[in-house]
């Protein structure tokens, strides 16, 4: 790990945020958690928030929205805004950099997410997309199912659930990524390499991005 590059990236990021996108099994949470640890940032996954809320809420509207998410489809935008966005300006995160895992996956959600981040003093600095082929996704799914190392109850544990996730990503998330590309905020990463190679590419491209 290049400590000099990390120091420069950390100084540039400040209390800002980085949003990491990628289809299922692209490794976005793995990369996000490692990047957060390296930069002393807070890692936030909308999936983790949804799973935690599932265990605590008795709000009928949220319960139904979480059922939609559990089925492999994206949570409706209104419920997404009510549930996820307040985490982005929680005062407990004041002054902290944020590493996000695919927060705001539908086209039209990117602007509310950016506004919530700005409200919390975590301006979005860059978006990372981990690109892998569909063949690689299915291969990783087979390996993960054989090793039984995915969280219980995940929609992508079944082939049908994973296919739904892939369809949702193609139809609803790729337009979001295209929007960030137009905004010149996007960094593309080859997600099919080893974990160390992917992380090194992330650091190298972040460093080049800020030069």
Residue-range domains of the chain with CATH: 3-209 (3.40.50.300)
Q: For a pLDDT cut of 90, what percent of the chain falls above it? A: 63
Residue 67 pLDDT: 67
Of 138, 136, 131, 114, nearest in space to 202 by CA: 131
Helix and strand counts by DSSP (H, E) for the chain: 10, 5
Q: What is the mean pLDDT of residues 123-142?
A: 96
What pLDDT shows up at residue 110?
92
Write the pLDDT tens digit of every residue in 47-81.
777 766 665 566 666 666 666 666 556 666 677 77
Residue 143 has pLDDT above 80, yes or no: yes
Instruction: List the structure tokens of 70.
Output: 């559990």
Q: How confident is the model at residue 123 (pLDDT cuts 50, 70, 90)?
A: very high
Decide if pLDDT at 27 tops 70: yes
pLDDT given for residue 85 in this prediction: 87
Give the least confident one: 46-55, 125-134, 139-148: 46-55
Which pTM value belongs to this model? 0.85
**Residue 98 backbone phi and psi in degrees, to 5:** -120, 135
Measured distance CA(65)–CA(163) in Å, rounded:
20
**Polymer length in residues for the chain:** 211
Q: How confident is the model at residue 204 (pLDDT cuts 50, 70, 90)?
A: very high
pLDDT reported for residue 59 = 67
The rounded distance, in Å, linking the Cα atoms of 62 and 50 is: 9
Looking at the chain, the whole-number percentage of residues with pLDDT higher than 70 is 82
Predicted local distance difference test score (pLDDT) of residue 151: 47
């Amino acid at each position: 790990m290049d400590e000099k590059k990390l120091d420069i990236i950390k100084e540039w990021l400040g209390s800002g945020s980085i949003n990491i996108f990628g289809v299922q099994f692209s490794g976005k949470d793995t990369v996000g958690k490692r990047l957060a640890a390296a930069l002393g940032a807070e890692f936030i996954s909308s999936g983790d928030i949804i799973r935690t809320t599932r265990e605590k809420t008795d709000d009928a509207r949220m319960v139904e929205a979480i059922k939609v998410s559990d089925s492999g489809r994206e949570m409706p935008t209104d419920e997404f805004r009510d549930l996820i966005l307040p985490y982005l300006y929680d005062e407990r995160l004041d002054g902290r950099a944020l590493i996000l895992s695919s927060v705001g996956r539908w086209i039209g959600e990117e602007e509310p997410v950016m506004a919530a981040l700005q409200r919390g003093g975590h301006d979005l600095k860059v978006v990372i997309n981990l690109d892998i082929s569909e063949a690689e996704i299915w291969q990783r799914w087979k390996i993960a199912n054989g090793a039984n190392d995915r969280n219980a109850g995940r929609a992508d544990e079944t082939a049908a659930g994973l296919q739904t996730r892939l369809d949702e990503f193609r139809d609803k998330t790729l337009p979001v990524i295209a929007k960030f590309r137009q905004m010149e905020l996007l960094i593309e990463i080859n997600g099919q390499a080893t974990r160390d190679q992917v992380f090194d590419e992330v650091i190298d491209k972040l460093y080049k991005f800020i030069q």
